[in-house]
Amino acid sequence: MDRPARRLTPEDIHARLILIIGASLAACFVLVTLGITYALIFVTQPLNAQAPNDAAFIDLLKTLAIFLTGSLGGVLAGNGLKSKPKPDTPPKG
């Protein structure tokens, strides 16, 4: 009745890991983007200048967004460059 669980190949594990990392970075990037948008649109600012705390917060969010963009691009661009599936049959020569 119980059938044995199929073991995942290293390629399957790598694909799932890339999916989890990419989804996590993308979700964090969306949250940061929404935070910047909220801080710029809905937070009341003084008439003459931006409040120092708000300026520091927005600067921090900008830095985080730049880092996440680079990380997400690196993860997605580097997917599959190093790992290649092994052929099922040995090459004939």
16 found inside a domain: no
Tokens of 1: 């009745």
91 found inside a domain: no
42 found inside a domain: yes
2 found inside a domain: no
Measure Cα distances from 75 to 9, 34, 45, 71 in Å: 20, 22, 37, 6
44 found inside a domain: yes
72 found inside a domain: yes
* Number of domains observed in the structure of the chain: 1
30 found inside a domain: yes
More confident residue, 85 or 10: 10
Q: What is the pTM of this model?
A: 0.61
**3-state SS string for the chain:** CCCCCCCCCHHHHHHHHHHHHHHHHHHHHHHHHHHHHHHHHCCCCCCCCCCHHHHHHHHHHHHHHHHHHHHHHHHHHCCCCCCCCCCCCCCCC
Each residue's pLDDT tens digit, 48-93: 777 787 778 778 878 888 888 888 778 777 765 665 656 666 666 5
What is the domain extent for residue 55?
Answer: 26-77
88 found inside a domain: no
pLDDT cut 90: percent of the chain above it: 0
